[in-house]
Amino acid sequence: MNEFLRLDTLIHLALWLAIALIAMLIPLLPLYRPDDAWPQPEWFLALTFAWLLRRPAHLPYAAIGLVFLIQDLFLMRPPGLWAMLVMIGAEFLRRRQSMVREMNTLMEWGLVTGVLVAIWLANRLALVIVMTPRPPLDLSLVQLVGTVLTYPVVVVFVQSVLRIRKPATGELDELGRKL
* 85 touches 124 (CB < 8 A): no
Residue 1 confidence (pLDDT): 47
CA geometry: angle 4, 61, 103, nearest 5 deg: 90
Is pLDDT of 178 > 90? no
Query: pTM for this structure?
Result: 0.87
What counts of helices (H) and strands (E) characterise the chain?
A: 8, 0
Chain length of the chain = 179
Please give the C-alpha separations between residue 25 and each of 14, 29, 71, in angstroms, as whole numbers: 17, 7, 9
Sequence-separated contacts (24+) of 170-174 with Cβ below 8 Å: none
Q: What tens digit of pLDDT does each residue of 155-170 get?
A: 999 999 988 887 776 6
Residue type, 123: N
Is pLDDT of 133 > 60? yes
Query: Can you list the alpha helix ranges (DSSP code H) found in 26-136?
Result: 43-54, 61-74, 81-95, 97-100, 105-129
Q: What is the rounded distance in angstroms from the CA atom of residue 112 to the CA atom of residue 25?
A: 25
Residue 52 confidence (pLDDT): 92
Q: What is the overall mean pLDDT for the chain?
A: 86
Is pLDDT of 74 > 50? yes
User: Which residues have C-beta within 8 Å of that of residue 31, sequence separation ≥ 6?
Assistant: none
Look at the alpha carbons of 114, 116, 118, 124 in this order and tell me if their dihedral is positive or negative: negative
